[in-house]
Amino acid sequence: MSRAGEVALGVIGTILNIILLIFVTLAVMGASNANTDELKQMFEEEIVLSDPNMTPEDIAVFNDAVDVGIEVVGVVGWVVVVTLLISIILSILGVVKVSKNKSPKAAGIMFIFAGLLSGILLLAPILFYIAAIMCFVRKTPVQYVEEPYYNNEVQNQPQQPL
């Protein structure tokens, strides 16, 4: 049985995950290397323009919040990069397993975990879930080789009189 549908969905999902991984990595690296002093100064100017009654203590609290926010974005961003990388590895393993038609159930489980790790409402996880469902639902046809009724060579032989 051909598993071309599962392979195609897995490959497309993997490519979408790789593209997302590149964008997230660039965003995290950009946030990590951002000049916080310029960012704080820009925010201070915007705050003072919007509310001229701000005290220096309020601006200091806001600057501390900006520092914490940038650190959180860096840490959470790297966690997202690692989970996307694990998702890509699982999806590649799933595609390999389903393409050889050796263990489609294991490939379906890998597709489910790859979908869970790559996000919830993105296109790639939806493709992985569809491929996993196809892996679980489609059954390989059973061939009875030993029974003579299913063997074409036995059926085509002339019957010998008793």
Torsional sign, CA 85, 91, 92, 94: positive
- 153 belongs to a structural domain: no
- 28 belongs to a structural domain: yes
Q: Confidence class of residue 56 from pLDDT cuts 50, 70 and 90?
A: confident
- 121 belongs to a structural domain: yes
Q: pTM surpassing 0.85?
A: no
- Domain tally, the chain: 1
Domain that holds residue 91: 4-35+75-138
- 27 belongs to a structural domain: yes
- 8 belongs to a structural domain: yes
* 2 dihedral zone (left: phi>0; alpha: psi -120 to 50; beta): beta
CA 113, CA 129: separation in Å to the nearest integer?
9
- 13 belongs to a structural domain: yes
Residue 150 has pLDDT above 60, yes or no: no
- 53 belongs to a structural domain: no
Q: Confidence class of residue 159 from pLDDT cuts 50, 70 and 90?
A: low
- 52 belongs to a structural domain: no
pLDDT in tens, 65-117: 888 888 888 899 999 999 999 999 999 999 999 988 888 899 999 999 999 99
Share of the chain above pLDDT 70, in %: 85
To the nearest 10 degrees (0 to 180), the angle between helices 104-118 and 4-32 is 30
CA 37, CA 65: separation in Å to the nearest integer?
13
